[in-house]
Structure 1
């Protein structure tokens, strides 16, 4: 990534708070990250870590939540932008692929009509031109017999083909930013690999900036250039993908890596999990959100345990562009657990069909 290029998407101190009957819930807490053209940022974490809320806030789909901070897309501030202006940007400059395509596609319209509608709305194209563009996009994402299948309805497609339709719909207006929110969760491993390869190919061909939202580090290993690990609505670690797999600095990241099945594990090796439960966002901890589950904090001297429990860690650079929010970061010689994978290729092979 050239040092002199500006990021396409720059997020600074993004905070998203929902008002509930039990009190305010800060689902995203002072989050900052960048995504450059032609690169994929994998945003990873357990359920409830704030990944999807982050993506919805970027798109302006936060549904009444209070959003503060800064979200700049190609020099334009999105926080506070009127809905009319945001709707012009959605689909044209930024687009999103959701987890469940069947619930995102309208059952009463053919897939060709739905893709063409996006093109007509943003470009004012005629119906014939928009339909031709929709057919071209279906062909580009690998739908066989695209002219015929454009006249089919969503329920007539398999899960993998519906996801291809969603990708075609997202990219029909050639946006600069694509957000993919768990796009392969409901798919079997073979179809998952095909969808990930499709997104990677389209990203490279179009120089897209891609945010890949996932709980699966195996997906991150296959497609991402950079990784943002989230926990409790906060950033825990950010680094290039090779650095995260070679030398994770946050104990939570190490726990996620240890949870992955490995090709070199014996057949009877039990699946691992990060001990404990995610934190309550109604009553956030004053210190490190991960401290109650952290093996490093539990084994530390009393002074360090108190610091972890009561002082929120700030993001600090460990080396190069590798940053971590941890009072007791791991080093190559101190990382507990199984021998770490030296390169994400070890995980890519393990998650390939």
Structure 2
């Protein structure tokens, strides 16, 4: 089983601990293992960025943590504050969702009910978990909208989702997610449909609230720029498995897995010519219906292609283990580990403060 990220620096106990998480969907063509033997920790006050191409298993992982898979087989262990969530009855999970763990989804317009005002929806969320009166819940909804920077929160609490811009709707979702003061926030591509300026505002908002409340945050994204801005630790996923885990500084300074290096190389650079094409990773993500026996990335891997015949055979037939230096393991037979690794970011000093925006 893959071991989670660890460092020599003494850190608090993990709030969220995932071990050997496997999620399998039944299909007409056979079972699809969308997440395979995943392990990671998330500490209070820290942000774990989960990054990878579409289909890598990022959102499936977050849904499994929240206990939202109704048709999939979920095995392994997911503990929140020491309490096991896998196999927990739906009634007990409902008491934890929103109160102890909350999630922000990709599309706020489809997540908000069009027939109810945003204030009513946030107030209902508060009443369910605290049993508060309608008046108290309404006041808490107004407070929550004000906390996330929505102007004139009392007036806007009486408006409907379609009356808000995309960025403001996402702020409403954040207000709803945080209104009951959960310990864990999962943000699944929260800035995908937003322009760059609004995206920065939303990321800064989440970071500010995290610092104020000591939240543990899981940020799911395909955008390495977002990871650089907000994450302390990074989990790179490929084909449903962990490809690499590292502190954010270590990952950007010295990526060990060829897939991670390919993701970083595909980013546009300021020193490139204006007409220079983006560097894409050749090929397509693997089929999870018929997984390869060896490394899932081998068919797209430049390192494997340039290796000896013996090395190519090993990549094609032997699945690599997630292994390497403490705090920076990679699932590769021939990783590029440097002689020394950068120190991890401190929980008191969020990575985004020193990252380029």
TM-score (norm 2): 0.93
Structure-2 change in CA distance of 1:168 and 1:345 (3 Å): closer
For 1:322, the equivalent position in structure 2 comes to 328
2:229 paired with 1:222:
yes
Is the Cα contact below 8 Å between 2:231 and 2:352 reproduced in 1? no
3-state SS of 1:23 partner? coil
Which deviates more from structure 2 when the two are superposed, residues 308-317 or residues 34-43? 308-317
CA contact (8 A) 1:8 1:73 kept: yes
Where does 1:1-353 land on structure 2 (aligned, <5 Å)?
3=10, 5-318=12-325, 320-332=326-338, 348-349=355-356, 352=357
Deviation (angstroms), 1:87: 0.7
Q: Contact 2:12–2:44 at 8 Å: present in 1 too?
A: no
Structure 2: give runs of 5+ residues left out of the alignment. Answer: 1-6, 340-350
**Cα distance in 1 for residues equivalent to 2:77 and 2:105:** 23
Per the TM alignment, residue 22 of structure 1 is displaced from its structure 2 partner at its CA by 0.6
Asked whether the 8 Å contact 2:231–2:248 carries over to 1, the reply is: yes
- Structure 1 segments of 4 or more deviating over 3 A? 344-349
| 1:138 partner SS | helix
Following the alignment from structure 2 to structure 1, what is the Cα–Cα distance between the partners of residues 263 and 321?
A: 21
Query: Matches of 1:38 and 1:345 in 2, distance apart?
Result: 13
Q: How far apart are 1:331 and its partner, in Å? A: 3.9
Provide the rounded CA distance (Å) in 1 between the counterparts of 2:328 and 2:224: 17
Write the distance in 2 (CA, Å) between the matches of 1:162 and 1:226: 28
Deviation at 1:4, TM superposition (A): 5.1
* Alpha-carbon distance between aligned partners in 2 of 1:39 and 1:221, rounded to the nearest angstrom: 14
Q: 1:218–1:348: 8 Å Cα contact kept in structure 2?
A: no
Instruction: After TM superposition, give the deviation of residue 183 of structure 1 in Å.
Output: 0.3
Partner of 1:339: none
**Residue range with higher mean Cα deviation, 64-73 or 2-11:** 2-11
C-alpha deviation, 1:154, in angstroms: 0.1
**Counterpart secondary structure, 1:54:** helix
Contact 1:52 1:181 in 2 (8 A): yes
Question: Could you report, residue by residue, the CA deviation over 1:187-225 in whole angstroms, capped at 9, with x for unpaired residues?
Answer: 000000000000111111110000000001000000000
The separation in 2 between residues aligned to 1:330 and 1:7, in whole angstroms, is: 28
Q: Is the CA contact (8 Å cut-off) linking 2:229 and 2:353 kept in structure 1?
A: no
Q: Name the SS for the 1:20 alignment partner.
A: coil
Quote the Cα distance in structure 2 between the aligned partners of 1:345 and 1:197.
9
Conservation of the 8 A alpha-carbon contact between 1:262 and 1:347: no
Q: Which runs of 5+ in 1 are unaligned?
A: 334-343
SS at match of 2:31: strand
2:138 & 2:240 partners in 1: Cα distance? Answer: 41
